[in-house]
Structure 1
Amino acid sequence: MPRVNVSWIITVLMVELATLSAAHAHSCHEVKTAFQVRQIGQLKWVPETPATDVDLSICKHAGPSCCTRRMEESYRAAVLRDTTQNIRSYSYELKYLISEHAAAFQDTFQSLITFSQNHLTSVFETTYSSLMSPISPHIVCLFTDLSRFLQGTGNVSVETAVHRLFDNLFPLVHTRIVNPGMAGSIGEDSYDGNQLGDCLRMTRQDINPFGPHPKAMADTLASALRAGRMLSLAFGVGLKVMNVTETAELSKECTRALVRMHYCSHCRGLTLIRACSGYCLNVMRGCLASFSELHSPWRQYITVLQDLTHIVAGAHNLELALLGIKGQVEEAILYAQLHGPRLTATVDKVCGHSSNVSSTTVRTFPSTTVSPPPSNSSQDVPGANKTGMLAHLNSSLPLKTSKSDRSRTLKKVAREFTEYSSRYKSFFSILPETLCEGEMGIDELTCWSGDDVVKSYTSRVVGSGVHAQRQNQEVRVRGADPVLMDAKNILELFNMEIQEVMPGVGLRESWDERGSGESSAECDDEDGCEGSGESVASPPLTEADVSKNAVKISYHDLPITQNKSDASLPMASFIIIIILALALHWPFI
């Protein structure tokens, strides 16, 4: 009979008893409490005491565990839900910033459009009442097109909309203002009446009855409204990108790493310990590697938005252009009146209808040169006392609001957006740090490294982006997320298109980074605060930087101007006399 090693049997029994006593000494009560509080799953899946024969796929370790396979699946769903919700909660602030300021700009644009339309309509109601009824639909059409252009909807041309208005205005001005006796010849059902109207509309740009004013108005509006349109399109691109990022899903490798970081410590009964900060950064940078790829185009996109808002609101270009429509139309009609005889003769040659009108019914005006018309002609010409290009602004609403009126002007909306948007320039690159600082990455005396409780995380912390994750030991990144790469392509394509339309926009350093101070929320340079030293320095980028070839119509180049040389002759003669007197007395000094 073989000898039995009693001491060996006793040792084995003692080890087994120690293991069983250790397993039963710890309960899973705290794990069950955390499982319930965080609404992870059903409590019946949590064991009462740790078990040693658990088949786990993520939280594997040699000792007893309070986790089961069903709990791991619940942890996977919970961590996916919570992380996605955290990402969307941070992105919601950015999405709200874009959508709210897009709406604010559109409201301001529409207010300017409505006021300018009413401004122009009032001219025809008071000064040219005979034209009001037939021209009213064309006025509505013009401002509808301008509104659609600013909104970025539809293929609308500002130049086409402006010239269409003047094409339809020409027959009315020619037959009701220049030649009142022909008032009934346009709009009749007769063949001749329709033929004359069609001829005048089709030949308006060749006859040029309104001088330089239609082209000046079209060029000014196209230049001023272009930045507003691109700003509306840019806001749409930003919202589209944010919507695309919300549909991005976390990979399986990321989900496993998140479970290991958040809940594998629970399996050992450690429900209060936090992940090490370096460990958290590696996990989150691996999970959000494709998000970080958006950083460079997104940063340029935010700079584009800031430059566009400054161009739109910086020098009141858009307000002046819209409010200037009334004056341009007045000047155009006045030009046609003052050149009535020449205009009638040209129409006779081209359309051959004006000669049928009795000369006694045609109101003519003396031919004009660069000198102003006689003062008594102002009684015959409506609005002749407003020959200046800027005279129409005298009756417009003031661009500078009083301090008691705190309504949001374009400049105030632009300043608010620039101030807030600067905080989100690096949104996608710092998103991992933001998530870790918000909930997980707090280093105490000890922290969780994914495998055990340690004093500090010793592995290498990788950088951001897909390429940097090759050295990541916590998350395996197989490649870029196609959904987020589509968002990146959207941003890059828009940034390239903006350079084709408005070169230089978005390529400069943002004005908030160049400014030496912070702007007060209650002080605006519109309120006379520009000398207080508290406002942010405006960037050098202006509309002139991106449209250097824009057509500039000089007031002195217009055919109806006031010659100021006569007024300066007495002063010039006086100066010459003084110089001659000093020269004669020079030998005696």
Structure 2
Amino acid sequence: MSSAVRMDTRLNFPVYPLMVLLCAVCALSGTRSAVASSGRSCADTRQVYAEKGYSTGTAPLTQISGEHLRLCPQDYTCCSSQMEETLALQSERDFLKAVEENSQFLLTTFTQRHRRFDEFFRELIDLSEKSMNQMFTKTYGRLFTQNAHVFQELFVELRRYYSGGSVSLSEVLSDFWSRLVERVFSLVNPQYQFSEDYLECVSKHAEQLQPFGDVPRRLRVQVSRAFIAARALSQGLATGRDIVNKATKLTADSECVRGLMRQWYCPLCRGMPSLRPCHSLCLNVMKGCLANQGDLDTEWNNFIDALYQVSEKLEGPFNMELAADSISVKVSEAIMHMQENSVSISTKASR
């Protein structure tokens, strides 16, 4: 497979590492260099609060009783009710922003990989059709151009299958060979004028006559493997993109906000803005806020493993470049086989 579409970066989205990363990012949110709290003064709290763009009009100058607090411990505090409410909203915004920023790389990766793979595979189909047209125009000239629609329909159906259409590859290829045998049978027997009913009869008995030898079976196996795997990978990348996009559209419930306040802004209300949350507290809060995403962890990893298995098959036994290149070659081989065995095939057909 071209390096342009090779999945060379592991597309993993484990929730636990995301939690760790969020803890690392968010632990720094709103902190300053360590400054010791001076007694009951709220100067440090007022300064940090002002640096966030909020008015200090309701901020106490010194610590007051915290009986009015709803989220932080109700001991002496540097936060008024309005400050606590404002900081609760700020903690939610900080959390959602951190999730969005840390998931953006994964979303971008899936989006780009899907686009690049889709463009690459569609280009392979286009090149395969172009190669066939050039080869057969040069070899058969007017006979090919008169029947070009048979080959065009094959590629139309192949594209429709890849795009997710309700198409059976076996039926597509079977119909193609049926139409082709009618054209080639007339070509190798120019001394006769066959009726449509007779040619249709030849087409219906193609399995017994085997006018193209073993080529149809070999082409069906090769094309089916490559197209099934390519469609699965394309759809998988698109699905992964959509899952990441939806999974990171979060809302923080009241318990999540309470936990976020405890780790980020309750120390600020206590007059200790430089105090950072311990790692275990941060992880517990993140697990609560990302509980639904955590439930996806096992299935997500299985999904990623499946994508890798498909991509490896496309590089190996289901190689899509070889399959696309082989279409014109095998069709040409099939026609030559019928030309070389025209006498025996015509004899069988006349019985």
TM-score range, shorter chain: 0.7 to 0.9
- Structure 1 residue 316, shift from structure 2 partner: 7.1
| 1:80 maps to 2:82 | no
| 1:33 aligned residue | 47
- The letter for the 2-side match of 1:59 is C
Rg comparison, structure with higher value = 1
Measured in 2, the distance between the counterparts of 1:338 and 1:25 equals: 102
| 1:161 aligned residue | 172
- The letter for the 2-side match of 1:309 is S
Measured in 1, the distance between the counterparts of 2:80 and 2:192 equals: 95
RMSD: 2.7
Q: Is the 8 A contact 2:66 2:74 kept in 1?
A: no
Measured in 1, the distance between the counterparts of 2:125 and 2:158 equals: 8
Q: Is the 8 A contact 1:36 1:43 kept in 2?
A: yes
Q: Is the 8 A contact 2:267 2:273 kept in 1?
A: yes
Q: Is the 8 A contact 1:124 1:132 kept in 2?
A: yes
Q: Is the 8 A contact 1:119 1:326 kept in 2?
A: yes
Measured in 2, the distance between the counterparts of 1:25 and 1:280 equals: 28
Residues 130 and 169 of structure 1: is their aligned pair in 2 closer, same or farther, counting only changes over 3 Å? farther
Measured in 2, the distance between the counterparts of 1:37 and 1:143 equals: 63
* 1:9-408 alignment runs, 5 A limit: 28-39=42-53, 41=54, 43-52=56-65, 55-63=68-76, 65-151=77-163, 153-175=164-186, 177-181=187-191, 193=196, 195-196=197-198, 198-314=200-316, 317-349=319-351
- Structure 1 residue 44, shift from structure 2 partner: 4.1
- CA offset digits 1:249-270 (Å, max 9, x no partner): 3331111111121111111222
Residues 268 and 145 of structure 1: is their aligned pair in 2 closer, same or farther, counting only changes over 3 Å? same
Measured in 1, the distance between the counterparts of 2:146 and 2:51 equals: 72
- Structure 1 residue 321, shift from structure 2 partner: 1.8
Residues 71 and 208 of structure 1: is their aligned pair in 2 closer, same or farther, counting only changes over 3 Å? same
- Structure 1 residue 53, shift from structure 2 partner: 6.7
Count of aligned positions: 314
Q: Is the 8 A contact 2:96 2:250 kept in 1?
A: no
TM-score for both structures, normalised by structure 2? 0.79
Q: Is the 8 A contact 2:263 2:282 kept in 1?
A: yes
Residues 84 and 298 of structure 1: is their aligned pair in 2 closer, same or farther, counting only changes over 3 Å? same
- Structure 1 residue 283, shift from structure 2 partner: 2.0
Residues 42 and 143 of structure 1: is their aligned pair in 2 closer, same or farther, counting only changes over 3 Å? farther
Higher RCO, Cα 8 Å, sep 6+: 2
Q: Is the 8 A contact 1:109 1:150 kept in 2?
A: no
TM-score for both structures, normalised by structure 1? 0.49
- Structure 1 residue 79, shift from structure 2 partner: 1.1
- Structure 1 residue 170, shift from structure 2 partner: 1.7
- The letter for the 2-side match of 1:210 is F
Measured in 1, the distance between the counterparts of 2:303 and 2:113 equals: 15
Measured in 2, the distance between the counterparts of 1:166 and 1:134 equals: 17
Measured in 2, the distance between the counterparts of 1:111 and 1:287 equals: 44
Question: Secondary structure of the equivalent of 1:163?
Answer: helix
Q: Is the 8 A contact 2:65 2:74 kept in 1?
A: no
Q: Is the 8 A contact 1:131 1:172 kept in 2?
A: no
- Structure 1 residue 71, shift from structure 2 partner: 2.0
Measured in 2, the distance between the counterparts of 1:53 and 1:292 equals: 35
- The letter for the 2-side match of 1:105 is F
Residues 265 and 109 of structure 1: is their aligned pair in 2 closer, same or farther, counting only changes over 3 Å? same
Residues 73 and 181 of structure 1: is their aligned pair in 2 closer, same or farther, counting only changes over 3 Å? farther
Which of the two has greater helix per residue? 2
Structure 2 regions of 5+ residues with no counterpart?
1-37
- The letter for the 2-side match of 1:164 is D
- CA offset digits 1:179-225 (Å, max 9, x no partner): 23458x6xxxxxx55x4554454444454322221122111211233
- CA offset digits 1:488-526 (Å, max 9, x no partner): xxxxxxxxxxxxxxxxxxxxxxxxxxxxxxxxxxxxxxx
Measured in 1, the distance between the counterparts of 2:49 and 2:155 equals: 61
Q: Is the 8 A contact 1:54 1:68 kept in 2?
A: no
Question: Secondary structure of the equivalent of 2:212?
Answer: coil
- CA offset digits 1:61-86 (Å, max 9, x no partner): 332x2212222222222111111121
| 1:357 aligned residue | none
Residues 249 and 339 of structure 1: is their aligned pair in 2 closer, same or farther, counting only changes over 3 Å? same
Measured in 1, the distance between the counterparts of 2:178 and 2:343 equals: 20
Residues 168 and 266 of structure 1: is their aligned pair in 2 closer, same or farther, counting only changes over 3 Å? same
- The letter for the 2-side match of 1:178 is V
Measured in 1, the distance between the counterparts of 2:211 and 2:171 equals: 17
Residues 266 and 114 of structure 1: is their aligned pair in 2 closer, same or farther, counting only changes over 3 Å? same
